[in-house]
A = this chain, B = another copy of it.
Amino acid sequence: MKEAKKSIVVMKFGGSSVKDVVCLKRAASRVVSTKKAGHRVVVVVSAPGDMTDELIERAHAITDNPDGRELDMLMATGEQISIALLCLSIKTFGIDAISLTGPQAGIWATDVHTKARITKIFPHKVVKGLNTGKVVVVAGFQGLNPDEEIVTLGRGGSDLTAVALAAALNSEVCDIYTDVDGVYTTDPRIVPDAQKINQISYDAMLELAGAGSQVMQARSIEVAKKFGVKIHVKTSLKNKPGTRIMDEKGMEEPVVSGVAYDKNEARLSVRDVPDQPGVAAKIFSALAKESVNVDMIIQSTAQNGLNEISFTVSRQDLKKALSVLEPIRHKLGAKEVFFDDRVAKLSIIGVGMRSHSGVAAKMFSVLADAGINIEMISTSEIKVACVIKESEGQKAVKLVHKAFGLGK
């Protein structure tokens, strides 16, 4: 009964944090400290190191196009190995622990193999473990579909398991342990004096993730926002605070929180399209049908009854997009499809923009002063994104990061 009153903490460790005995012991020691500090602890883990990629390679050595159901059966073993080894490590500290696969932890998902979405969680086995004083270690990235078959949750799936479990258990906080210190104002490999962000709102973090910051996937943050789960992204290597992602209420957030930079972009333009209703719908329906995700879209004002429609896709989708567009261009009577895969997207993000004017203008001036041409612009309430030449990208990141006072 005493156990039941303690607050629950969900701790998630990525693959690099459980890849060998040394890492497992270090992760276990963090778990044990949290448990000894008086919390009830649920741990979510990824597959060790590069095991998921290695398993996918083994499948591809057999067939070019492996069946999704069997891939899920295969990939789910990685996390199962991690939960068992981490439990054994925790037990060496004299703390009792129990491992649960995603299905055992009651994680139900949609019937889409290799990229299912979590639909509901029945965590009674987790609660039972906690109520008997144990640390409960759950396999991330996996669940059961309505036919009771194993499915996996796609990229960032273990984060999603952690956040969803934290929501289902009314956990106080969801700690995401990774190999970086937290979320930075920009990529420290480009701007050495980039700073760790102490606090960031769900919305700003969502825009950062969408703009190419790789720390967490957008969908985990969406779930956290929906259920009010406080996230703390921190390193498993050192014992120091990372970045807290939470509701912006009561949070003093700067005008600009960070600068995101994404080189994985390609720009496409369909030129000289007759200005008729339904043209854009035709183009983007066809792309959607082939699962090509479109990011920014701009339609220029008609001149002589002809439009230009420009948009960006990720570079690996470029070839597919071009093959989808060719027959449509012909049907629409458009002159040509132009593409450029040497572009990059630079974004500034900050909740403070809502109440500050002139932020976008400042960004454009900084770029203009440096002679950097802006090819496309897209804005939201808390984001300004520009497409520029990739060759000018790093310089642009440095200038903008400095202009908004984000350096140390």
Contact = CB atoms under 8 A, between A and B. Distances in A.
A36 to B, nearest CB: 19
A199 interface: no
Interface in A287-332: none
Contacts of A77: 77, 80-81
A58 to B, nearest CB: 6
Interface stretch (A85-93, A340-348, A364-372): A85-93
Given A21-B61, A58-B85, A85-B62, A91 B67 contact: yes
A76 B80 contact: yes
A99 B21 CA distance: 31
A337 interface: no
Interface of A: 21, 24-25, 55, 58-59, 61-63, 66-67, 69-71, 73-74, 76-77, 80-81, 83-85, 87-89, 91-92, 98-99, 101, 104, 148
A113 to B, nearest CB: 12
- If over half of A's interface residues share one DSSP class (helix, strand or loop), that class is named, otherwise mixed; here it is helix
A81 B55 contact: yes
A89 B99 CA distance: 31
Given A63-B91, A66-B88, 19 more contacts: A21-B61, A21-B62, A55-B81, A58-B81, A59-B84, A59-B85, A59-B88, A62-B92, A63-B88, A63-B89, A67-B88, A70-B85, A70-B88, A73-B84, A73-B99, A74-B84, A76-B80, A77-B80, A77-B81
Contacts of A148: 104
30 contacts: A21-B58, A21-B62, A25-B62, A58-B81, A58-B85, A59-B84, A59-B88, A62-B85, A62-B89, A63-B88, A63-B89, A63-B91, A63-B92, A67-B87, A67-B88, A69-B98, A69-B99, A70-B84, A70-B85, A70-B91, A70-B99, A73-B84, A73-B99, A73-B101, A74-B80, A74-B81, A76-B80, A77-B81, A80-B80, A104-B148
